[in-house]
């Protein structure tokens, strides 16, 4: 990882080891610290992962890197109007076309390409090998520059084994980091963080594709031919979100209504001009954003029910006189009121999932599934026993963590604002 030109390691600040643990939620790091692990670190910050709470989406935001093509390795290419990527990404060696985002150019260590898939099949072996290889590579690295490592084994352990096995792995990691601190001393700051959280419960598959077909939609891998009912629904990892692409934009509202009927779907979200519409079995709402020289402000209009459970917060903002005459409140006011909500940072996070380039090929509709439900590739589901997953906009998946051996960091920070804490 290249040093910041103004704050160079070893001269104006300590050398920095950035170590990302894939998929470790804030609550499990707090539990580990309660057991005496990582006691040389400051209190862990809640690092809010963007929706969908997926690795490449989160890390590209944290490092202001190029957006990945899609939310996962199998994605829908809007220009070619077809599905691309998938299992072929994991075959052979890691070539430029298999590097989803420019943040990967900064990595000093990541697992061999094949491990990205094997971590879900043999997570214990992969974790042990990965940790040993990381430790050896770090010890051999130059002492005059920062070092950035990404460990995927933690994600595999949680997905297929659950939090008990991860706890054992964290004990091993704690020993390794103590060895690093003993050898490097205060000359090296260790910044430990994760990309997203995880819901820690057994998961049931949501029948998204089956229900859409039952309602007359035609699911296709390509949307090149005239087909008024055609949708494309990439299915790969076993995650608590889904992305839908429509052959005809006129289908979007109807599809969103149909999706709200499916057990396990928390809500769907799609663009409506400059706004975003949220639909669920609990109702519908509209999120609007207004940007001025003073920054962004948001308005939440719940047209039917209250799908994001923000009614009490709107009332609180009104009582604080934080809402203007049009019902907009500053982004900072919403963040202060909602960063610990069960939909953390709900308005900015959900709005930006549709109106920023979190991926190159933004979906027409994004689904956030309830905790306890997943969608993904059926053959993968038969191989992996899913003990936990991530992807949705709920607290469990959104709350990643960030902590340092040298600095006390803010209580809560968005992924989009984490770059200065990681690199600065």
Q: Render pLDDT for 283-309 as a digit per residue (tens, 0 to 9).
A: 999 999 999 998 999 999 999 999 999
Within a domain: 1: no
What confidence score (pLDDT) does residue 423 get? 87
Q: Are residues 262 and 397 in the same domain?
A: no
Instruction: Find the DSSP H helices in 231-368.
Output: 251-259, 311-319, 331-338, 346-355
Give whole-number Cα distances, 272 to 248, 269, 285, in Å: 15, 10, 11
Q: Are residues 135 and 225 in the same domain?
A: no
CATH code for the domain of 196: 3.40.720.10
Within a domain: 3: no
Q: Are residues 52 and 171 in the same domain?
A: yes
Within a domain: 10: no
Within a domain: 34: yes
Q: Are residues 146 and 293 in the same domain?
A: no
Q: Are residues 208 and 325 in the same domain?
A: yes
What confidence score (pLDDT) does residue 321 get? 97
DSSP state of 409: P
Pairing label, strands 82-85, 74-77: antiparallel
What confidence score (pLDDT) does residue 228 get? 81
Please count the structural domains in the chain: 2
Range of the domain at 115: 15-66+101-200+390-423
Q: pTM higher than 0.75, yes or no?
A: yes
Q: Are residues 188 and 322 in the same domain?
A: no
What confidence score (pLDDT) does residue 96 get? 64
Q: Render pLDDT for 208-240 as a digit per residue (tens, 0 to 9).
A: 999 999 999 999 999 988 788 999 999 988 999
Q: Are residues 157 and 214 in the same domain?
A: no
Q: Who contacts 293 (Cβ-Cβ below 8 Å, separation ≥6)?
A: none
Within a domain: 96: no
Q: Are residues 211 and 241 in the same domain?
A: yes
Q: Are residues 145 and 279 in the same domain?
A: no
Low-confidence ranges of the chain (pLDDT < 50): 2-5
What confidence score (pLDDT) does residue 279 get? 97
d(CA 149, CA 48): 20
HSE toward the beta carbon, residue 89, CA cutoff 13 A: 20
Within a domain: 77: no
Q: Are residues 366 and 396 in the same domain?
A: no
What confidence score (pLDDT) does residue 48 get? 98
Q: Are residues 54 and 176 in the same domain?
A: yes
d(CA 239, CA 249): 25
Within a domain: 92: no
Q: Are residues 153 and 257 in the same domain?
A: no
d(CA 132, CA 112): 13
d(CA 338, CA 108): 35
Q: Who contacts 387 (Cβ-Cβ below 8 Å, separation ≥6)?
A: 158, 159, 160, 161, 162, 200, 202, 203
CB distance 264 to 370 below 8 Å: yes
* C-alpha torsion angle, residues 162, 387, 72, 398 (rounded to 10): -70
């Amino acid at each position: 990882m290249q040093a910041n030109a103004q704050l160079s390691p070893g001269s104006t600040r300590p050398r920095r080891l950035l170590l990302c643990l894939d998929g470790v939620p804030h609550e499990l790091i707090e539990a580990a610290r309660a057991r005496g692990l990582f006691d040389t670190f400051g209190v862990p910050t809640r690092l809010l992962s963007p929706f969908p709470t997926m690795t490449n989406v989160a890390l590209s935001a944290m490092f202001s890197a190029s957006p990945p093509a899609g939310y996962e390795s199998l994605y829908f290419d809007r220009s070619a109007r077809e599905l691309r990527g998938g299992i072929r990404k994991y075959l052979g060696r890691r070539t430029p076309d298999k590097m989803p985002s420019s943040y990967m150019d900064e990595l000093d260590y990541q697992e061999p390409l094949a491990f990205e898939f094997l971590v879900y099949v043999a997570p214990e072996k992969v974790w042990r090998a990965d940790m040993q290889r990381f430790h050896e590579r770090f010890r051999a690295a130059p002492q005059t520059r920062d070092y950035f490592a990404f460990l995927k084994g933690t994600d595999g352990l949680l997905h297929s084994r659950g939090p008990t096995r991860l706890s054992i792995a964290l004990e091993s990691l704690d020993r390794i980091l103590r060895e690093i601190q003993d050898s490097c001393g205060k000359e090296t700051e260790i910044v430990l963080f994760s990309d997203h959280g995880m819901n820690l419960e057994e998961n049931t598959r949501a029948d998204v594709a089956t229900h859409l077909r039952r309602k007359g939609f035609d699911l296709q891998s390509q949307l090149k031919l005239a087909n008024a009912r055609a949708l494309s629904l990439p299915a790969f990892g076993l995650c608590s979100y889904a992305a839908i692409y429509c052959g005809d934009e006129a289908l979007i509202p109807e599809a969103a209504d149909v999706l709200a009927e499916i057990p396990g779907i928390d809500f769907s979200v799609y663009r409506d001009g400059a706004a975003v519409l949220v639909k669920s079995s609990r109702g519908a709402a509209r999120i609007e954003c207004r940007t001025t020289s003073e920054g962004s402000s948001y308005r939440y209009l719940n047209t039917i029910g209250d799908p994001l459970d923000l009614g009490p917060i709107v009332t609180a903002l009104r009582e604080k006189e934080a809402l203007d005459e049009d019902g907009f409140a500053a982004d900072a006011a919403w963040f202060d009121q909602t960063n610990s909500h069960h939909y953390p940072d709900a308005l900015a996070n959900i709005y930006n999932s549709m109106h920023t380039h979190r991926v190159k090929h933004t979906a027409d509709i994004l689904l956030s599934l309830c905790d306890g439900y997943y969608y993904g590739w059926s053959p993968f589901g038969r191989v992996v026993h899913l003990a936990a997953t991530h992807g949705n906009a709920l607290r469990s998946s959104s709350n990643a963590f960030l902590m340092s051996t040298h600095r006390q960091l803010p209580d809560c920070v968005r992924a989009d604002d984490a770059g200065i804490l990681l690199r600065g």
